Amino acid sequence: MALVLGLLVVDAQVRGWNEDATIIGAFADSFNGTARSLRFFLATKDFDWANESIRWLASAADIAQDQYLRGGFPSGAALGLTLSNLHCAITAQVYVVEDLLQDPSRLERASPQADYIGRVEALYGNVSADLDVVQPRGIDPLSQLPPDRVQSVRAAISEIRTLGEPWYGVVGCPDF
């Protein structure tokens, strides 16, 4: 009987780890889409790409919202993939794009908005690449990431939040 209970506990742990890994993979896909759309936006100056980047980022927030409502997922906090951080990122990105819509010439010259878009594009690309190595292998997903990658993701998410402060600071960033 103890063996059966032990196997059930192990099976539940493996399923939990695999679910976390799948969620991390979904975040990687969303951040990759965000970075790719921002890259195309900067290259083409076509605001459809800016809107596409917001949709990709919103998909990451949807993942975080779902996990938040379910009580979170263990790897999320360790990586900084929280609902609060993602809502802040979306809020800032929407305001930046709205600013650029008011004066698209800001994309052609040095401006805080163009600098923001360029920097977060690189950060989302890095986060996506860091997270993309995690696969549902029946082991703790964080153990698949070297400590420097975990720190890299946390630092990038933190920097994205900090970079957005000039834009969401007026209305405040939602805190969950």
| Greatest pairwise CA separation for the chain in angstroms | 71
State mean pLDDT over 56-79: 87
Buried-exposed string 63-87: b where 16+ CB fall within 10 A, e elsewhere: bbeebbeeeebebbeebbbbbebbb
Q: What is the DSSP letter of 169?
A: T
For residue range 9-37, list pLDDT tens digits in order: 445 577 778 888 899 999 999 999 999 99
pTM for the predicted model, two decimal places: 0.87
Q: What's the CA gap between 47 and 66, in Å, rounded?
A: 28
129 closest CA partner among 106, 158, 156: 156
Cβ 84 vs Cβ 72: under 8 Å: no
